[in-house]
Amino acid sequence: MSYKINIDDQTFDLNREAIQDLNVVKNGDGTLHLLQDNQSYHITIIDTDFDNNKLTLEINGNPYEIAIEDEYDQLVKKMGLSTGGTQKLKNIKAPMPGLILDILVKPEQTIEKGDQLLVLEAMKMENVLKAEGEGVVKSIEVTKGAAVDKGQVMIEME
């Protein structure tokens, strides 16, 4: 399987074997260490957007926006089947178990795609959850400091 990796407007083609050959070590503090071509790289994952196949990484202190397309994403794009329209948000559910660190919206607030909704700590990492569409917040079903289970409704949308 091949992947297109877009890093700050530069595109790289990688295959599964090249990715598996990378010398990556997970550090105990949630960071990664990569050794490639006799150079050392310290990597911190800043933000993840799995729905849109995007990551924000800090590599040796420099931030990078990374977009990943697998063969299927590339085929959909090539065929022009990507949807460019907006979508109405449904209830926001916890993508994983964790702890609510901050709530960034309030009831009756109108939100747009990409707006920050709340901060969820999971596996010792802070994850800023962003809106995948637009809508109006009906109610907040969690409180700051509360533990949530995967799939639990956190924000109810109108």
Task: Tell me the CATH number at 98.
Answer: 2.40.50.100
Same domain, 99 and 144: yes
Handedness of CA 128, 130, 136, 138 (dihedral sign): negative
Q: Is the pTM of this model over 0.85?
A: no
The H or E element that residue 77 is part of is helix 71-78
Same domain, 11 and 49: yes
Same domain, 6 and 55: yes
Mean pLDDT score, 143-156: 93
Whether 32 is in a domain gets the answer yes
| Domain ranges, residue 19 | 2-78
Tens digits of residue pLDDT in 27-54: 888 798 988 888 899 999 888 887 778 8
Whether 84 is in a domain gets the answer no
Least confident of 36-40, 74-78, 90-94, 105-109: 74-78
Q: What rounded mean pLDDT belongs to the chain?
A: 84
**Taking 70 as the threshold, does the pLDDT of residue 138 lie above it?**
yes
121: which 2 tokens?
């700590």
Q: How many domains does the chain have?
A: 2
The pLDDT value recorded for residue 82 is: 56
